[in-house]
Amino acid sequence: MQPLSSTVKNMRRSGIREIMDLAHGVPDVVHLEVGEPGFPTPKHIVEAAHQAAEEGFTKYTPNAGLLSLREQIVSKLAAVNGLSVSVDNVVVTTGAVGGLATALMAVLEPGEEVLVPDPGWPNFEMMVICAAGVSKLYPLSQDNDFVPEIEALEELVTPRSKVVIVNSPSNPTGAVFPAKQVEALVDFASRHDLYLIADEVYEQIVFGVEHVSPGRFDPDGRVIGVHSFSKTYAMTGWRVGYAIASQSVAQFIAKLQEPFFSCASSVSQKAAEAALMGPQDCVIEMRTEYESHRDLAASLLRDAGLSFVTPDGAFYTMVDVSPFNLDSYTFARELLQEAGVAVAPGRTFGPSGEGYVRVSLAPTAEEITEGLERFAAFLRALE
Ligand SMILES: Cc1ncc(COP(=O)(O)O)c(C=O)c1O
């Protein structure tokens, strides 16, 4: 047999997946490694999808998505993100994953470089590999609240640089970039003629701060904003998101839907439409709940004497475990085996994640309390 694809072979396995697999064999585990809302999809969205299926929305849609959904997205972007776009700038995708992957493919030539956040969501690097690009990791540090520093980015720019990926609110750090920094990032992209891909999937999960879309500072059309219904409306399994880009880039992203996805699921697109058109109380209720989980976790972590950055958004916190002299994988494995608590090892998010573990705030308050109490007891036993 001929060898299988070296591209796929070279893709790193997610450390979160490794911990999840190990957790299967351990009884009574508290899962603080998960990255998806614990809430069910709001009922009115499920009902709208059911009705749409009954009405025959069970066929292919245009590559760029249903016009009716794209129109709703245009209204949402004006009302929520302060962006003025037309339907020609909107491509509905198979989750943000589909939008990010096809956005990268739409702009990259083989061997071109992409600036990727470190620590950052591991899928960014995987997608760059699949798009035949080369990742250049830009470090984020707790000293700067995990907000990118332009000087660090400048040092990584080469003639082959093509794209910078930014993610605010961030997975795994929970950082939400201030407007000034967002503007500085677009300015940086502009000075070096880079595309800026903004992963905005946690845009509505912010606690007392504003999420600022990079597209607000973009007169040249170099920003590609990628959004999702997954986190905002607890719709991870419906697989629907969207990319916002200049018309020429949007056309390429839409063209790429054909070979990989054809289109996002038609019934999910109708569900997404109902999500945008319906009452938004569910978004506020979930945000409030995540904020209370954030405060609960912060108080438990503080009581345990741990250092962490209080997240301003998303539903994760990075906990500094460097004083315990175990690498983050060993720490996560021992925490699982000794205390039955699953967390994500920081190293899986990049070299700058070493010395941390990521704790998810998406589970219930009871799970967070139980998990972090066991975490504290595990640390006492280590001392
Ligand atoms: C930063 C980030 N982007 C994108 C996604 C995936 O979003 P979707 O479900 O819309 O593909 C996730 C999911 O965990 C994420 O953390």
Q: In the listed set 243, 277, 311, which residue is the last one of a domain according to the structure?
A: 277
Q: Which atom of ligand 1 is nearest to the CA of 36?
A: 14
The HSE-up count of residue 111 (CA atoms within 13 Å, CB side) is 2
Say if residue 314 is in the same domain as residue 262.
Answer: no
Q: Is the model's pLDDT at 383 over the cut of 80?
A: no
Say if residue 291 is in the same domain as residue 336.
Answer: yes
Strand pairing class (341-342; 30-31):
parallel
Q: Bin 314: left if φ > 0, else alpha if -120 < ψ < 50, else beta.
A: left
Instruction: Give domain status of residue 214, yes or no.
Output: yes
Say if residue 215 is in the same domain as residue 312.
Answer: no
The HSE-up count of residue 16 (CA atoms within 13 Å, CB side) is 21
Residue nearest to atom 14 of ligand 1 (CA): 35
Beta bridge partners of residue 224, listed in sequence order? 197
Banded model confidence at residue 276, pLDDT cuts 50, 70, 90: very high
Q: In the listed set 277, 300, 331, which residue is the last one of a domain according to the structure?
A: 277
CA of residue 101 to ligand 1 center, whole Å: 11
Q: Bin 113: left if φ > 0, else alpha if -120 < ψ < 50, else beta.
A: beta
Instruction: Give domain status of residue 304, yes or no.
Output: yes
Q: Is the model's pLDDT at 376 over the cut of 90?
A: yes
Instruction: Give domain status of residue 222, yes or no.
Output: yes
Beta bridge partners of residue 93, listed in sequence order? 241
Q: In the listed set 242, 277, 312, which residue is the last one of a domain according to the structure?
A: 277
Residue nearest to atom 16 of ligand 1 (CA): 171
Contact at 8 Å (CB) between 138 and 148?
yes
Q: Measured between alpha carbons, how far is 80 from 275 in angstroms, rounded to an integer?
A: 14
Say if residue 56 is in the same domain as residue 32.
Answer: no
Contact at 8 Å (CB) between 107 and 163?
yes
Q: Measured between alpha carbons, how far is 117 from 100 in angstroms, rounded to an integer?
A: 14
Q: Is the model's pLDDT at 174 over the cut of 90?
A: yes
Burial 143-180 (b: 16+ CB within 10 A, else e): eebbbbbeeebeeebeeebbbbbbbbbbbbbbbbbbee
Name the DSSP letter for residue 292.
Answer: H
Contact at 8 Å (CB) between 74 and 82?
no
Say if residue 29 is in the same domain as residue 155.
Answer: no
Instruction: Give domain status of residue 13, yes or no.
Output: yes
Q: Is the model's pLDDT at 10 over the cut of 90?
A: no
Residue type, 198: A
Q: Measured between alpha carbons, how far is 345 from 327 in angstroms, rounded to an integer?
A: 9
| Domain interval for residue 31 | 6-41+281-382
Say if residue 263 is in the same domain as residue 370.
Answer: no
Per-residue pLDDT of 69-120, as tens digits, reads 999 999 999 999 999 999 999 999 999 999 999 999 999 999 999 999 999 9
CA of residue 96 to ligand 1 center, whole Å: 6
Q: Is the model's pLDDT at 25 over the cut of 90?
A: no
CA of residue 199 to ligand 1 center, whole Å: 8
Provide the mean pLDDT of the chain: 96
Q: Count the domains in the chain.
A: 2
Say if residue 62 is in the same domain as residue 88.
Answer: yes
Where residue 171 sits, what CATH number does that domain have? 3.40.640.10
Banded model confidence at residue 17, pLDDT cuts 50, 70, 90: confident
Banded model confidence at residue 297, pLDDT cuts 50, 70, 90: very high
Determine what percent of the chain falls in helix, strand and coil, rounding each to the nearest 5: 50, 15, 35
Residue 279 burial (C-beta neighbours within 10 Å; 0-12, 13-18, 19+): exposed
Say if residue 127 is in the same domain as residue 15.
Answer: no
| pLDDT the model gives residue 12 | 83
Contact at 8 Å (CB) between 347 and 305?
no
Encoded tokens for 215: 């597209």
Instruction: Give domain status of residue 1, yes or no.
Output: no
Burial 254-264 (b: 16+ CB within 10 A, else e): bebbeeebebb
Looking at the chain, the whole-number percentage of residues with pLDDT higher than 70 is 100
Per-residue pLDDT of 123-148, as tens digits, reads 999 999 999 999 999 999 999 999 99
- Within 6 A (CB) of ligand 1 lie 35, 95-97, 121, 167, 171, 199, 201, 228, 230, 236, 241
| Residue 280 backbone dihedrals phi, psi, to 5 degrees | -100, 10
Name the residue of 17, 171, 239 whose CB sits within 8 Å of the most ligand 1 atoms, as the mutation to test its pocket.
171
Name the residue of 16, 93, 228 whose CB sits within 8 Å of the most ligand 1 atoms, as the mutation to test its pocket.
228
Say if residue 13 is in the same domain as residue 35.
Answer: yes
- CB atoms inside a 10 Å sphere around CB 383: 7
Contact at 8 Å (CB) between 90 and 250?
yes
Helix (H) / strand (E) element for 91: namely strand 90-93
Say if residue 154 is in the same domain as residue 177.
Answer: yes
Where residue 306 sits, what CATH number does that domain have? 3.90.1150.10
Say if residue 143 is in the same domain as residue 214.
Answer: yes
**C-alpha distances in angstroms, 59 versus 54, 56, 65, 269, 302?**
12, 7, 12, 11, 52
Say if residue 259 is in the same domain as residue 291.
Answer: no
Q: Is the model's pLDDT at 236 over the cut of 80?
A: yes
Instruction: Give domain status of residue 81, yes or no.
Output: yes
Q: Bin 233: left if φ > 0, else alpha if -120 < ψ < 50, else beta.
A: alpha
Total count of residues recorded for the chain = 383
Encoded tokens for 330: 């060993």
pTM listed for this prediction: 0.97
Residue with tokens 């790193």: 12
Encoded tokens for 352: 């700058």
Residue nearest to atom 13 of ligand 1 (CA): 35
- CB atoms inside a 10 Å sphere around CB 302: 12
